[in-house]
Structure 1
C-alpha cells in the first residue's frame, strides 16, 4: 500500500473553507482539492467544551453537503481560540479585536481546530489542541497591528504567520499548523484512514 498521499491516489477533496491559510496548507500537502462554500449557521448549544464546539461546527459544515459529494472527500474545519473558559471567535470590529488581544497578552491560550471528513457515507471527526504563549504586548503594538492587518476573519484576532505571531509568540506546545487553521499531521493520518 502506498502511504504517500498525493494527487495520484487520493479522491478529489472538497474544501469547504474560504480561509486562504487552509487552502495554502492543503497545497503544501500536495493534495488535489477544490473549494466549495455553503452557508452554515455557526451557532452551537450551550455547555460544550472548546473541543466539542470546534468539532460540532465542523460537522455542521459537513452536513450542509447532505450527500452532494458522495465520491469525494469533503473536508470541513473550525478553529477556536479559548482562554480561561472564554471562547474568542472572530472579532466584530477593531475595538473588539483590540480587546481580545489585550486579553491574550502575556498569557497562554488554547487553539482548537475541529475537523470533519466525509467520504462515501463515512464520517471521521477529530480535533487538535495547541497551547500558544504570548509575551506581554504594549497597547500601541496591539492597536497598530489591528489597524494594519485587520485580523477580522481570524479567531482570537490574530494570525500566527503575521507580524504579531512572529514578534509575540514565545513558544507553542503542539502543532503549529493547527494554530494556522488545520492540523496537517493528524489530517494526513485521517485521510489515509478514511479511504481504507
Structure 2
C-alpha cells in the first residue's frame, strides 16, 4: 500500500537486483525505480547461518553498487535517494540452498520439497545515498507442499528459470501453485522482497 510520504517529496529508488520477481513486487508497491546489479561472486561469501549469509550478501551488494553510481546520480531532481539490496536463501532440513548449480541439482531440490516443506530467509537492506545511513532486517516464510508429480518437475526444469532462484523454489509459477499446500508468511517475501518490511525500512532510512 502506498504511504502518504510518497506524495510529499520525490523519492528516487535504486533496486540492486536483476530479479524480475523483486522488480514486480516493488512496482506493485507503487514505486518508480531504476535497476543496478552488483555482479559479485555470491558463492565467495560464506556464513554458517542462513540469517547471517543473506545479511552479508545484501551488504556486499550495496558495497559493490555504490561506487558504480555516477557522481550526482542520486542527487539530481530527487529530494531523497535510497538503494535497496536484498538476498534470499531456501532452508531445507536445516541446510542452506542457494541457486541450483545445474538442472540435476534443481530437480533434486524440487523432489525434496514434494510432500514436505521448506523455508525462505530473506534480507532487505536500505541505504540512504545522501547520508550513508543503512537499515536492514530479515523475513522468514514456511512453505508446505503436496506431492509434486514428476512430469511437473520435468516441465519446470525445462523452462530453466528455476536455475535463477534460490533453492529452485518458484512457488508463484502456474505449474507449482496447485501443489502449494500452505504458506506461513507472504508470497511477496517468497518472491524475494517482503513488501511490509521493505516499506518500513525505506521509511526508517529516510
Q: Tell me what 1:86 maps to.
A: 95
How many residues in Structure 1 have an aligned counterpart in Structure 2?
Answer: 193
With normalisation by structure 1, the TM-score equals: 0.89
Relative to structure 1, the CA distance from residue 78 to residue 194 in structure 2 (aligned partners, 3 Å threshold; closer, same or farther) is: same
**Partner SS, residue 137 of structure 2:** strand
**Partner SS, residue 164 of structure 2:** coil
With normalisation by structure 2, the TM-score equals: 0.85
Q: Tell me what 1:182 maps to.
A: 193
Relative to structure 1, the CA distance from residue 156 to residue 12 in structure 2 (aligned partners, 3 Å threshold; closer, same or farther) is: same
Relative to structure 1, the CA distance from residue 93 to residue 175 in structure 2 (aligned partners, 3 Å threshold; closer, same or farther) is: same
Q: CA deviation at 1:8?
A: 5.3
5+ residue gaps, structure 2: 76-80
Q: CA deviation at 1:65?
A: 2.9
**Offset from partner CA, 1:58-97 (integer Å, 9 cap, x none):** 1110111346466520110011111112112111222111
Distance 1:79 1:10 in 2: 29
Match 2:155 to one of 144, 167, 170: 144
Q: Tell me what 2:173 maps to.
A: 162
Distance 1:122 1:148 in 2: 40
Q: Tell me what 2:136 maps to.
A: 125
Distance 2:112 2:38 in 1: 32
**Partner SS, residue 197 of structure 2:** helix
5+ residue gaps, structure 1: none
Deviates most, 3-12 or 162-171: 3-12
Deviates most, 169-178 or 32-41: 32-41
Runs of 4+ with >2 A deviation: 2-11, 43-47, 65-72, 138-141
Given the alignment of the two structures, is residue 55 of structure 1 paired with residue 20 of structure 2, yes or no? no
CA RMSD of aligned residues (A): 2.0
